[in-house]
Amino acid sequence: MASSLFGSSLTKELDLRPDQFTYLLDLAATLKRDRKSGTEKPMLTRKTIALLFEKTSTRTRAAFETAANHQGAAVTVFDPQSSQIGHKESIADTAIVLSRMYDAIMYRGTAQETVEELAKYATVPVYNALTDSWHPTQMLADCLTMQEHSLKPLNEIKFTYVGDARNNMGNSLLITAAMMGMSFSIGAPKSLWPDQELITKAQALAKANGGEILLTESATEAVADSEFVHTDIWVSMGEPESAWKERIDLLKPYRVNAKLMLSAAPTAKFMHCLPALHDLATTTGKKAAKILGVNDGIEVSSEVFDSTANIAFDQAENRLHTIKALLVATLVAP
Ligand code: CP
């Protein structure tokens, strides 16, 4: 199976077949076990990886750099300020140049077209480390984490996403669930649902793979009997504060608090790709809490975030193991 991914790019979840997605999860679990038991063997010695960041990151950058380091590879981090990418040199030329020196290219930025252009012109694997449309490496970590915290196989798990669903996390969870035959609900105001075209595609995929997709404006209906309740941040520093109030008012009924968790399965776990506004420890959190009228978290209450139901830090750690699996599967010749 490794041979089927050798040399491949990952620009979005649908680049992978379900069996390839499963292969990456199994490989990640093995690499995680090896790391923890001190038996990990470097398989990427002398490989080099270019990491292109148009947007900020903590987890993804840490995961790519650490995974490369554990496996014996070296990385170079590029950002718009310290490179010619995008402003003085086209994406196509960048892809060609970097392919002459590196074994792989990772891209984090806004436009999905950019990562697809990189993949079109690169002669080495290109990885999407988040665009406005998709977050495929996060999906590998999310599924590994759900698998670790459930006794059921992935295709028997029911999980939910509540909040702003017309973003990369909403899109990616929807398509991943459909691809893997899972039971998945979105609880969000209709204006913040993924594009109808994507919903239709996901529903057809789910039907073909034995999964179920529900979209509802009721947060309670969405989380009913779910084993995992996911959410994501509602506002970001880049947006005008005038937009925050409207968004926060719209999403208030979808806040993950102890009452909402009561509608989920009794052993339900809380998941968040992070960063999260779960207290007043950040400037953004303080400003958003004032608008929401709480002394607490925004998309998730402190009570839930600080509880044993929260597995977001396991999820964050799994970025490392799953990204490592992606590097090994695509860069080690069979
Ligand atoms: N979840 C995630 O992608 O985190 P970073 O933005 O910190 O990389």
Residue 142 included in any domain: no
Residues ≥6 apart with Cβ < 8 Å to 9 = 15, 119, 122, 125, 126, 127, 330
- Does pLDDT of 2 surpass 70? no
* AA letter at 117: E
Tokens of 247: 């968004």
Range of the domain at 267: 150-310
Q: Residues 163, 303: one domain?
A: yes
Tokens of 226: 């779910």
Q: Residues 169, 294: one domain?
A: yes
Choosing from 284, 319, 322 the residue with most ligand 1 atoms within 8 A of its CB, the one to mutate for a pocket test is 319
Q: Which atom of ligand 1 is nearest to the CA of 55?
A: 6
Residue 5 included in any domain: no
Residue 87 included in any domain: yes
Could you confirm whether 138 is annotated as catalytic?
Answer: yes
Residue 52 included in any domain: yes
Q: Residues 263, 324: one domain?
A: no
Q: Residues 262, 294: one domain?
A: yes
Pocket of ligand 1 (CB under 6 A): 57-60, 130, 138, 273-274
List, for residues 115-150, the tens digit of each pLDDT value. Answer: 999 999 999 999 999 999 999 999 999 999 999 999
Residues ≥6 apart with Cβ < 8 Å to 257 = 300, 301, 303, 304
Catalytic residue among 108, 230, 247, 272: 108
Q: Residues 20, 127: one domain?
A: yes
Q: Would you state the pLDDT for residue 23?
A: 98
- Does pLDDT of 250 surpass 60? yes
CA atoms within 13 A on the CB side of 27: 22
Q: Residues 109, 203: one domain?
A: no
Total-model pTM:
0.97
Q: Would you state the pLDDT for residue 235?
A: 84
Catalytic residue among 59, 103, 230, 273: 273
Could you confirm whether 255 is annotated as catalytic?
Answer: no
CATH of the domain at 126: 3.40.50.1370
CA 235 to ligand 1 center in whole angstroms: 15
Domain count, the chain: 2
CA 208 to ligand 1 center in whole angstroms: 31
- Does pLDDT of 181 surpass 50? yes
List, for residues 182-204, the tens digit of each pLDDT value. Answer: 999 999 999 999 999 999 999 99
> What is the pLDDT averaged over residues 12-24?
98
Q: Residues 238, 291: one domain?
A: yes
Residue 324 included in any domain: yes
Q: Residues 236, 261: one domain?
A: yes
Q: Residues 95, 184: one domain?
A: no
Residue 4 included in any domain: no
Nearest to 186 by CA among 155, 229, 227, 147: 229
> In which order are the strands placed within the sheet that holds 212-216?
212-216, 183-187, 158-162, 228-231, 269-272
Q: Residues 257, 276: one domain?
A: yes
DSSP lists the bridge partners of residue 105 as 50, 126
Catalytic residue among 103, 142, 164, 232: 232
Q: Residues 155, 122: one domain?
A: no
Q: Residues 300, 325: one domain?
A: no
List, for residues 256-307, the tens digit of each pLDDT value. Answer: 999 999 999 999 999 999 999 999 999 889 999 999 999 999 999 999 999 9
DSSP lists the bridge partners of residue 104 as 49
Residue 85 included in any domain: yes
Q: Residue 1: which pLDDT band, with cuts at 50, 70 and 90?
A: very low
Residue 127 included in any domain: yes
Choosing from 51, 53, 58, 173 the residue with most ligand 1 atoms within 8 A of its CB, the one to mutate for a pocket test is 58
| Phi and psi angles of residue 85, each rounded to the nearest 5 degrees, phi first | -60, 125
Nearest to 247 by CA among 257, 259, 236, 238: 236
Could you confirm whether 108 is annotated as catalytic?
Answer: yes
